[in-house]
């Protein structure tokens, strides 16, 4: 009888342990994979999101305020296009809102978007290539929405790298290379004639300088003599003004001998 009670106690402890284990596992799975869709915010990026994954951080001014909850790929077979909505869950405990009483909490995100809140991909690790989402304020950009209104959506802007790639694509590289090739061909054809003209010009310039070297030397000597005379005259004027400052009566009486 005593042995039966012992077995029952052991069995009860085993059942309780298994129940606790299942509870811990369920709690982890629910937090990791089961989220409340009502609190999700969606973002659509017009560039590759390779490197972004579930669990990637979402930051604002360097502070992590949320994480990527799930990522989907939506194919439009009729249009032949693809969309990659990225769903984000914010941690309200990490974001303290200081707002006027006239703004309700459910309208805070809409007001921030109106003032320029945008989402942008950023590098989380250059070594591994992992990406993160950075929230920035760019009021000069026009918000573009891609969703159907089921989830609250934050407009996105291109990352600096994607913007640079797009700008390079807009440059007509093919036409520019063709024009450069034509210029090089013309230069190659006319190069001997150009070099001959340059040689003639330099020869004429050398001859002119040789013929005018005597006159040029005389001109420089005359210029030096003129500058010396001007210097002497300025010193004489300076001496006269100094003397008149000391003896102003000399203007009436004349200089004393």
Q: Where are the beta strands (DSSP E) in 138-240?
A: 152-153
- Does residue 42 lie within any of the structural domains? yes
Domain check: are 43 and 161 in the same one?
Answer: yes
| Residues 53 and 89 both lie in one domain | yes
Q: Please answer whether residues 143 and 119 qualify as being in contact, where contact means their C-beta atoms are separated by less than 8 angstroms.
A: no
Residue 143, C-beta contacts closer than 8 angstroms, at least 6 positions apart = 113, 118, 155
User: Which among 170, 202, 223 is the end of a domain?
Assistant: 170
Q: Judge whether 15 lies within some domain.
A: no
Are 73 and 161 part of one and the same domain?
A: yes
**Domain limit, last residue, from 101, 136, 170:** 170
Token reading at 224: 């030096």
**How many residues would you count in the chain?**
257
Q: The pTM is what?
A: 0.55
Give the CA distances from residue 30 to residues 34, 35, 117, 156, 237, in Å, rounded to whole numbers and listed in that order. Answer: 5, 7, 30, 29, 101
Enclosing domain of residue 164: 37-170
Where does a domain end: 170, 205, 233?
170
Q: Which of 139, 68, 61, 152 is nearest to 106 (CA)?
A: 152
Q: Is the CA virtual torsion 215, 216, 222, 226 positive or negative?
A: positive
Q: What is the pLDDT of residue 116?
A: 92
Same domain for 197 and 158:
no
Q: Distance between CA 68 and CA 58 in Å, rounded?
A: 7
Confirm whether 4 is domain-assigned.
no
Q: Are residues 166 and 194 in the same domain?
A: no
50-104 per-position pLDDT tens digit:
999 999 999 998 889 999 999 998 888 888 888 889 999 988 777 776 655 555 5
Digit-coded pLDDT (tens) for 1-16: 555 556 555 566 667 7
Number of domains in the chain: 2
């Amino acid at each position: 009888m005593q042995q039966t009670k012992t077995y029952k106690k052991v069995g009860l402890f085993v059942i309780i342990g298994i129940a606790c284990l299942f509870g811990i596992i369920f709690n982890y799975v629910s937090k990791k994979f089961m989220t409340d869709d009502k609190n999700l915010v969606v973002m659509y990026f017009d560039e590759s999101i390779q490197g972004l994954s579930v669990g990637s951080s979402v930051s604002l001014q360097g502070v992590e305020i949320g994480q990527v909850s799930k990522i989907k790929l939506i194919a439009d077979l009729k249009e032949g296009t693809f969309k990659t909505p990225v769903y984000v869950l914010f941690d309200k405990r990490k974001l303290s809102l200081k707002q006027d009483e006239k703004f309700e909490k459910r309208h805070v995100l809409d007001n921030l978007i109106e003032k320029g809140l945008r989402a942008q991909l950023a590098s989380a690790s250059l070594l591994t290539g992992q990406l993160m989402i950075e929230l920035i304020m760019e009021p000069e950009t026009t918000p573009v929405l891609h969703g159907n209104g089921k989830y609250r959506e934050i407009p996105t802007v291109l990352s600096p790298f994607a913007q640079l790639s797009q700008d390079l694509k807009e440059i007509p590289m093919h036409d520019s290379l063709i024009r450069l090739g034509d210029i090089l061909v013309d230069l190659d054809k006319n190069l001997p004639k150009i070099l001959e003209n340059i040689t003639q010009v330099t020869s004429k310039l050398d001859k002119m300088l040789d013929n005018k070297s005597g006159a040029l030397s005389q001109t420089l000597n005359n210029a030096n003599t003129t500058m010396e005379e001007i210097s002497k005259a300025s010193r004489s004027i300076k001496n006269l003004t100094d003397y008149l400052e000391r003896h102003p009566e000399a203007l009436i009486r004349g200089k004393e001998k």
